[in-house]
Amino acid sequence: MVVVIDVIRAFTNAAYAFSRGATEIYPVSTVEEALQLKAAIPDSLICGEVGGVPPEGFDFGNSPTQTNMLDLRGRAIVQRTSAGTQGIVRSVSASAILAASLVVANATVTQIRAWGAEQVTFVITGQVSDERGDEDRACAQYLEALLRGQQPDLAPFIDRVYKSDDARLHLDPNFPAFPKSDIDHCTNLDAFDFAMPVIKENGRHIMRAVKP
């Protein structure tokens, strides 16, 4: 049982896409794969980023602020990001996968319990050094506390997200492509009551919103 975490911003953005009506999300590894898959799936859209911004040919980026204003009803989404979707496609030995962030925290824990997992592995996708990725570690530790039946104080976990390395661009007004509102969206605990399990169909990873 693997829980792949990306708070800033892939799996926060995915949750907002589902809330805006997306039917399914296909996480992929490369830009080329994303473009090819969009061509193969009628009426699909591509979201995600390279270096934090959407590359040419993508329909929208990795910003939950932007996604929360879109009408995605009935649309399939192909998602490529530098961290989150990589964690999914590289979890090759997982028997079950959940994509997670703080906006679906309690639903994720409820889904884990419903599946009766005896062991849970957290994949911290944002971690590239001791400094980077603490927002994902904070989410993992919050989920672990819930799984242990604890009721942790949320404030320190949210504070770690705002103080994380990946939040810095969003808190600097000189980088308008990285709005502060994205971090506000990323820390909107339990904004949604669905979990985001990932399965494989016809050789492709598919994420869907499921109410546990």
- pLDDT one-digit tens code per residue, 8-63: 999 999 999 999 999 999 999 999 999 999 999 999 999 999 999 999 999 999 99
> pLDDT at position 197, please?
98
Mean pLDDT for the chain? Answer: 95
Cα–Cα nearest to 133, from 161, 152, 108:
161
Set out the domains of the chain in order of their start, with CATH numbers: 2-207 (3.90.1560.10)
The percentage of residues in the chain with a pLDDT greater than 90, rounded to a whole number, is: 94
**How far apart are the C-alpha atoms of 66 and 81, rounded to whole Å?**
16
Prediction pTM value:
0.96
Edge-first strand listing for the sheet containing 45-48: 45-48, 76-80, 24-28, 204-207, 196-201, 97-100, 2-5, 121-124
